[in-house]
């Protein structure tokens, strides 16, 4: 599917409509660029937000965690809100009111569905790991049955939600441009550091390409 997401009362932007995006290419691009997400849900009338990792397969998004997690157990077959945010820069204006950030974000709404079939769950986890570290999964020790039992995978359709993007310079009041105050953008990027080997690594084990060349898009 390449059609845009349906605009609903949940997902429509109440202000700054020019920053809103509902096309799948934009939404997918942000999801693919930032694996860390937050999942919001309600348990006994109390809201909770849990950080975790997400990955996308086609028009569905998945996340995982411990099977013992109350958050995941309560999220099964429940309505959830999943968000992803990427900070691209601090925007310094000539007034406090117009300070902002350049950022990309996605907010999705849907019903969380548990992946029940063990073979399907294993395939999802393989896709998750290989999505970050190409071809790594098949080089690892095979999962024990208990490993899979201890892990829960949830997913939902990417059908309701939106992306919000801000780029560019400050948007000051016209009269403020005459003020002698520095304004502009401090760019922010994610920096990947040099991999640090495990102190118990066996002698002679070489660093694989998916570690040496690791990048986040």
CATH of region 17-171+197-212: 2.30.110.10
Determine if the pTM surpasses 0.85. yes
Contact 18, 27 (CB under 8 A): no
For 112-182, where are the E strands, in sequence order? Answer: 113-114, 151-157, 160-166
Write out the chain's pLDDT in tens, 217 residues.
Answer: 567 877 777 766 666 667 777 799 999 999 999 999 999 998 888 999 999 999 999 999 999 999 888 877 777 788 999 999 999 999 999 999 999 999 999 999 999 999 999 999 999 999 999 999 999 999 999 999 999 999 999 999 999 999 999 999 999 999 999 999 999 999 999 999 999 999 999 999 999 999 999 988 6
The secondary element (H helix, E strand) that includes residue 121 is helix 118-132
Residue whose tokens read 């520095």:
182
The secondary element (H helix, E strand) that includes residue 60 is strand 60-66
What are the structural domain ranges in the chain? Answer: 17-171+197-212
């Amino acid at each position: 599917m390449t059609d845009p997401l349906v605009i609903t009362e949940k997902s429509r932007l109440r202000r700054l409509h020019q920053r809103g995006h509902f096309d799948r290419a934009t939404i997918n691009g942000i999801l693919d660029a930032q694996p860390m997400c937050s999942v919001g849900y309600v348990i006994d009338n109390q809201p909770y937000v849990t950080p975790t990792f997400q990955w996308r397969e086609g028009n569905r998004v998945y996340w995982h965690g411990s099977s013992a997690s109350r958050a995941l157990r309560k999220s099964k077959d429940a309505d959830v809100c999943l968000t992803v945010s990427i900070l691209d820069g601090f925007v310094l204006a000539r007034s406090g009111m117009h300070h902002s950030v350049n950022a990309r974000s996605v907010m999705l709404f849907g019903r969380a569905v548990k992946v029940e079939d063990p073979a399907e769950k294993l395939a999802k986890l393989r896709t998750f790991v290989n999505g970050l570290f190409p071809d790594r999964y098949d080089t690892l020790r095979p999962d024990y049955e208990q490993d899979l039992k201890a892990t829960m995978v949830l997913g939902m359709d990417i059908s309701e939600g939106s992306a919000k993007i801000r780029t560019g310079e400050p948007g000051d009041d016209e009269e403020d441009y005459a003020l002698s105050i520095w304004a502009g953008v401090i760019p922010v990027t994610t920096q990947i550091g040099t991999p640090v080997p495990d102190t118990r690594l066996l002698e002679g084990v070489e660093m694989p390409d998916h570690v040496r060349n690791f990048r986040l898009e």
